[in-house]
Amino acid sequence: MPTKSKSPKAKKPSSKSVKYVYSFGNGKADGNGKMKSLLGGKGANLAEMTRIRLPVPSGFTISTEVCTYFYDHNRTYPPALEKQIDEAIHKLEASMGKKFGDATNPLLVAVRSGARDSMPGMMDTILNLGLNDRTVRALAERSRNERFAYDCYRRFLQMYGDVVMGVQKRTGEEHEPFEVVIEELKKELFPNDPHVSDTKLDATALRTLTDRFRKLIRERTGKDFPEDPREQLRGAVGAVFGSWNNERAIIYRRKYNIPHEWGTAVNVQAMVFGNTGNDSGSGVSFTRDPATGEKVLYGEFLLNAQGEDVVAGVRTPEPVLQLKVEMPEVYRQLQDVRHTLESHFHDMQDFEFTVEQGRLFMLQTRNGKRTGFAAVRIAVEMVKEKLIKPDDAVRRIPADSLSQLLAPVFDSNARKTTQVIARGLPAGPGAASGKIYFSANEAESAAQRGEKVLLVRIETSPEDIRGMLAAEGILTARGGVSSHAALVARQMGKVCVCGASELQIDYSTNSLHVRGQNFRKGDYLSIDGTTGEIFPGEVKTSPSDIVRVLIDKDLTPAESPIYRVFAQLMQWADQRRKLEVRANADQPDQVGHAVAFGAQGVGLCRTEHMFFEGDRIDHVREMILAENADERGKALAKLLPAQRSDFAGIFKALKGLPATIRFLDPPLHEFIPHDEASQRDLAEKLGISADRVARRVKELHEFNPMLGHRGCRLGIVYPEISEMQARAVFEAAAEVQASGIKVRPEIMIPLVGFPKELELQIALVHQVAQKVQKERNIKLSYLVGTMIEIPRACVVADEIAKSAQFFSFGTNDLTQTTLGMSRDDAGSFLPRYQEEEIVRQNPFAVLDQGGVGKLMETAVKLGRSTRKDIKLGICGEHGGEPDSVKFCHRLGLAYVSCSPFRLPVARLAAAQAALKE
Ligand code: PEP
Ligand code: MG
C-alpha cells in the first residue's frame, strides 16, 4: 500500500558522465530547491538558499544516487565519485580561503545526512571534521582561544569515535565510554566536587582529554584515529550512508511510510562556530509558531553553543525573541530572513542558524513540522496574505491532522480544582492523562496491556521513538520545543510537555520527585501540551473548541479563532471535493453530531447497536435465545417500538438527507451472556430457568462467530426478524413524512454472497413496504441495496446488481474475508507482519488497495455493467482514512461513510483527491 512514489533507479554506475556531487557557495549552486529526490531536502534547500543570496556557508552535497549505489554494491562507491569529491573540495577551499589539513588556516567541515523527507535526528552527523593534532593548534591560534579549539577537537573525536569507529556502550556497560573518560578526568582534577560542570575543564584539561579519547579509540578498535582529513571525510561519508539503515531510521521510515529505496544524501559544509564566545550562538527557529500557527518569529537560541546543543535538548535554550535585546542586529536580520524565506518557499519554514562572532549564517531550512492547529491556521492565513491559493491550502494540510483539532482538552472545571505541580514547555497540544513509565520499553509493554501511558524521560532521544508511539503523551525534564522529542511528538500528534526542569527523575528507582511529592511507575499524571502544565492524577478531559461550537453549542464562532479557520478550510474543501461524505451513526444524537460535522447522510446505521442501551439488550437476547417462532414473535414485538422511535429520531435529525439502515448483523458472541451470573440474571428477567438459558447459549455456541450465523443469514433463517425491521423503518418513515419532513430510507442487507440471499430479503422488504403504505395511506420512496463485504459478492456483482439499487463496501468484513484474517484476532500477529514489511500498514485501518481494492474494482465494474447508475459507497472503517478515501475517489464511488469525528478528515482527503485529478 505505498503512498509515496519510489525513486527512479540509480543510473548506470559506470557512466563517467553521472554527476554525483553538487557544490554551493557565494551565491551560486549546482542544484536547486526542486532537486529533493537527488540532493535530499537539506541539500536542495541549501542550494536554493544560496541562490537567493541568504548567508549560507559553502559546501557540497553527495547525491542520494550514491547511497543507492552504496547499498546495491556491497557498501562501495561509484568509481567516478572520488574525483568529483576532490574537485568539490578544491572549490570549497577556494571559496573559504582555507585548506584541508593546513597548519595555519585549516578548513573544517560538518558532515550531515539529508533524506528527501526530513527524518529529524534519525541519522548521524559529524562536526568539526578536519581537526587533528596539527590543525587544532592552528584553530587555537586563529580563534585566540585554545580552550575553544580543544573543545572542538574533543567533540570531533567523540563523534567520530562513536559514529564512524563504533566506540559505543557494550552490553553490560552503563555509560557511554567517552563520558566515562570525561567523568574520570573530572574526578582526578576536582576530587571534592562530584558535580563539577564541563565548563570548568580548561584548555590543558581538554587537551588531556583528546589524548585519552584517542587512546580509548585505539584500545577499543585496534586502530588509530585518522589524522588525514581526507581519510576522516571518507569515514564520515560512509558512516552517514550507513546510518540510513540503523534501527531507529528504519522504524521512523516505517511509521512515516518513507520508502527504504530513497536513500540519503550527504552534505559537507564549511564549519561555522556558534561556540566561540558570547557574541556567538546557535538557534532553531520557525517563521511562525509551529504549535499555534501564530505569525511570530518563534524558536530558541543558545548563546555560545553549537547547533547540536539546541536540538539535542541537553541544555534548555532561551526564546529567540531574547536576541532582540542581546544581539539586536542579528535579530533584525533574522526578521528579514523570515520574510525572505516565506515569500520564496510559500510555506512556514523551520530553519537552523549560527551566529559566529556577530555574523549570521543559515545552515538549513525546510517546511516546518506543525500541529494540526498550526497547519490549518497557517494555510488559511497564508491565503489571506496572498502567499498561496486556496487550492494550495487544501492540498498541503495532512488530512489526518484535523483529528487533532477535534481532540479533547482538559475539562476547565476539573483543571481549576487540580493544582499544577510543575510546568514545562508546551510542545505538542492537547490533553493527556496516563500512568507514568520511565522507559520506552516499559511504556510500550504497558500500552500493549491496554493501559493509558505517559512516557516520562529526563530527555528523550530518537531511541525512545517506540515508547513515544505507544504513549498518550510525553513528558521530559530537559530539552526545548525544537528538541527531537518535541518535533517527533508534534508530528505524531502526541501531547508533549518538555523541559520541565523541576522534575527530578530517578531511573534507578523508577520515580519522579517534584515539589515535595513523589510519583512512582504506574501512578497517574496528566499533562497539557498546549500550556505546558503538569497535574497529579487523572484529570477529566473536555471537548475541543470545534466540538463546543458545532455540537455542544456553548461557544460561538466569534469566540473561537480556531473554529473560524477550520470552517474556512472546510468550506474550501467542500467546494472542491466530488465524493460525498456520510456518517456511520446509529442513534439520533450521533446523527445530529454527524450532520454538524458535515455529513450528507447516514451511510451506515448498524441496527444491532441500537440495542445496547437499557433493557433493549434483554429483548434482543430474548429474540436470539427464542426456541420457536412464537417466542421470537413476542420478543420482536417488544423491539419494534424501540426501533421505530429510533428510526423516526434519525429521520428527523437528517431533515431529508438519506439514511442507509442496515438490517441486523449481530455476531452472536457479542450478544449472548456468557458467564453464569449474567445468565442467571437474564433468566430471571425472562421468567425462564437459568438452565434453559445456559443450554440455549451452549446450542448457539459458534467456533467462528465472525463467520457464523450473522448478517443476512439471520434474516433468511428467521424472516420475521427482517419483517419487523422493515416495518419499523417504514412506519417511522410514514410518521416523519406525515409531519412534513422528507425521508429517504435506504435499506441495506448485510453479508450477501449469493444473489438469491438478497432477492429473498428484498422481496420481503417490498411486501412490508406495500403493507405499511396501504395501512397508513401514504406513498414512500426508498431504496434497497446491499453491503459488498464478501469476496463472492465482488465477483458476482453483476448478478447482485440486478436486484440491488446500491452497493456499500463493508471493507471491514471484506478485508477480513479476503485476507482470511479475523478482525478480532489479527492484532496478535499483524505488528510482526508490519515489521517484516509483509504489509506496510494495518490493512484493517488502511485499505489494502492491491488486494481488497482489486476486488472492489471488480465489483464496481461488474455492478455498473448491469445497472449503469448504481449508487456506490463505502462504510467500512477505511471510509475515514485519508489514503483509502483517495482510493475511493479514484474508484469513482459516490460517497464515503465514516465515524462522525473522522468526517472533517474525510472531507479534506476527498478534496485533495479531487485536486489531484
Ligand atoms: C464492514 O464490514 O465493513 C461493516 C461496515 O460492517 P461491520 O463493521 O458492522 O461488520
Ligand atoms: Mg460487516
> Residue 2 pLDDT > 50, yes or no?
no
Cβ–ligand 1 distance for 609 under 6 Å, the answer: no
Cα(613) to ligand 2 centroid in Å equals 21
- Closest to 528 in 3D by CA, of 483, 472, 484: 472
User: pLDDT higher for 730 or 837?
Assistant: 730
Mutate which of 808, 875, 878, 893 for ligand 1? The one with the most ligand atoms within 8 Å of its CB, which is 875
Label residue 150 by pLDDT band (50, 70, 90).
Answer: very high
Residues with CB under 5 A from ligand 2 (ion): 789, 810, 813
> Residue 205 pLDDT > 50, yes or no?
yes
Cβ–ligand 1 distance for 813 under 6 Å, the answer: yes
Mean pLDDT over 448-457 rounds to 94
Cβ–ligand 1 distance for 879 under 6 Å, the answer: no
Cα(789) to ligand 1 centroid in Å equals 8
Label residue 13 by pLDDT band (50, 70, 90).
Answer: very low
Q: Whose CA is nearest to atom 10 of ligand 1?
A: 813
Q: Whose CA is nearest to atom 6 of ligand 1?
A: 810
Cβ–ligand 1 distance for 789 under 6 Å, the answer: yes
Provide the pLDDT for residue 6: 44
Provide the pLDDT for residue 5: 45
Cα(578) to ligand 2 centroid in Å equals 25
Helices 229-243, 146-163: inter-axial angle, 10-degree rounding: 50
Cα(810) to ligand 2 centroid in Å equals 5
Any idea which of 62-76, 185-199, 648-662, 761-775 has the lowest mean pLDDT?
Answer: 185-199
Cα(614) to ligand 1 centroid in Å equals 24
Mutate which of 787, 814, 888 for ligand 1? The one with the most ligand atoms within 8 Å of its CB, which is 787
Mean pLDDT of the chain: 91
Cβ–ligand 1 distance for 606 under 6 Å, the answer: yes
Model confidence pLDDT, tens digit, residues 242-273: 999 988 889 888 878 888 889 999 999 999 99
Ligand 1 atom at shortest distance from the alpha carbon of 667: 10
Neighbours of 256 (CB within 10 A): 14
Label residue 490 by pLDDT band (50, 70, 90).
Answer: low
**Could you give the angle at the alpha carbon of 515 between the alpha carbons of 514 and 516, nearest 5°?**
95
Ligand 1 atom at shortest distance from the alpha carbon of 878: 3
> Residue 827 pLDDT > 70, yes or no?
yes
Model confidence pLDDT, tens digit, residues 95-131: 999 999 999 999 999 999 999 988 877 888 899 999 9
Provide the pLDDT for residue 491: 58
**Could you give the angle at the alpha carbon of 118 between the alpha carbons of 115 and 123, nearest 5°?**
65
> Residue 429 pLDDT > 90, yes or no?
no
Q: Whose CA is nearest to atom 3 of ligand 1?
A: 810
Model confidence pLDDT, tens digit, residues 852-884: 999 999 999 999 999 999 999 999 989 999 999
- Determine the Cα–Cα distance for residues 52 and 41; give it in Å rounded to an integer: 16
- Determine the Cα–Cα distance for residues 283 and 318; give it in Å rounded to an integer: 9
Q: How far is CA 781 from each of CA 384, 602, 758, rounded to the nearest angstrom?
A: 46, 17, 19
> Residue 442 pLDDT > 60, yes or no?
yes
Mutate which of 582, 584, 602, 606 for ligand 1? The one with the most ligand atoms within 8 Å of its CB, which is 606
- Determine the Cα–Cα distance for residues 497 and 502; give it in Å rounded to an integer: 13
> Residue 697 pLDDT > 80, yes or no?
yes
Strands annotated E in 221-292: 264-270, 281-286
Cβ–ligand 1 distance for 875 under 6 Å, the answer: yes
Cβ–ligand 1 distance for 812 under 6 Å, the answer: yes
**Could you give the angle at the alpha carbon of 550 between the alpha carbons of 548 and 556, nearest 5°?**
65
Cβ–ligand 1 distance for 608 under 6 Å, the answer: no
Cβ–ligand 1 distance for 528 under 6 Å, the answer: no
Ligand 1 atom at shortest distance from the alpha carbon of 877: 3
Cβ–ligand 1 distance for 665 under 6 Å, the answer: yes
pTM of the model: 0.82
Point out the residues that are catalytic.
Answer: 484, 875
Q: Residue 358 burial (CB < 10 Å; 0-12/13-18/19+)?
A: exposed
Provide the pLDDT for residue 481: 64
Cβ–ligand 1 distance for 707 under 6 Å, the answer: no
Written as nine digits, the cell of 189 is 582534577
Written as nine digits, the cell of 364 is 538549513
Ligand 1 atom at shortest distance from the alpha carbon of 809: 3
Mean pLDDT over 783-798 rounds to 98
Are 107 and 96 in contact by the 8 Å Cβ rule? The answer is yes
Cα(855) to ligand 2 centroid in Å equals 16
Q: Which of 315-329, 494-508, 775-789 has the highest mean pLDDT?
A: 775-789
Give the ligand at the shortest distance from the Cα of 667.
Answer: 1
Written as nine digits, the cell of 881 is 482514512
Q: Which of 25-34, 367-376, 471-480, 684-693 has the highest mean pLDDT?
A: 25-34
Model confidence pLDDT, tens digit, residues 14-66: 545 799 999 999 999 999 999 999 999 999 999 999 999 999 999 999 999 99
Mutate which of 611, 786, 813 for ligand 1? The one with the most ligand atoms within 8 Å of its CB, which is 813
Cα(656) to ligand 2 centroid in Å equals 26
Q: Whose CA is nearest to atom 8 of ligand 1?
A: 812
Model confidence pLDDT, tens digit, residues 887-904: 999 999 999 999 888 899
Give the ligand at the shortest distance from the Cα of 664.
Answer: 1
Provide the pLDDT for residue 609: 79
Cα(788) to ligand 2 centroid in Å equals 9
Cα(726) to ligand 1 centroid in Å equals 20
Cβ–ligand 1 distance for 604 under 6 Å, the answer: yes
Q: Which of 1-15, 333-347, 660-674 has the highest mean pLDDT?
A: 333-347
Any idea which of 43-47, 73-77, 542-546, 812-816 has the lowest mean pLDDT?
Answer: 542-546
Any idea which of 58-72, 513-527, 665-679, 755-769 has the lowest mean pLDDT?
Answer: 665-679
In eight-state DSSP terms, residue 261 is G
Written as nine digits, the cell of 396 is 498541503
Q: How far is CA 589 from each of CA 405, 585, 596, 726, 902, rounded to the nearest angstrom?
A: 21, 9, 11, 22, 16
Cα(790) to ligand 1 centroid in Å equals 11
Give the ligand at the shortest distance from the Cα of 814.
Answer: 1
Q: Whose CA is nearest to atom 4 of ligand 1?
A: 810
Label residue 455 by pLDDT band (50, 70, 90).
Answer: very high
Provide the pLDDT for residue 462: 62
Provide the pLDDT for residue 276: 84
Model confidence pLDDT, tens digit, residues 832-852: 888 888 998 889 889 999 999
Provide the pLDDT for residue 314: 63
> Residue 614 pLDDT > 70, yes or no?
no
- In the block, which residue shows the cell 431529508? 656
Ligand 1 atom at shortest distance from the alpha carbon of 812: 3
Cβ–ligand 1 distance for 752 under 6 Å, the answer: no
Any idea which of 243-252, 734-743, 779-788 has the lowest mean pLDDT?
Answer: 243-252
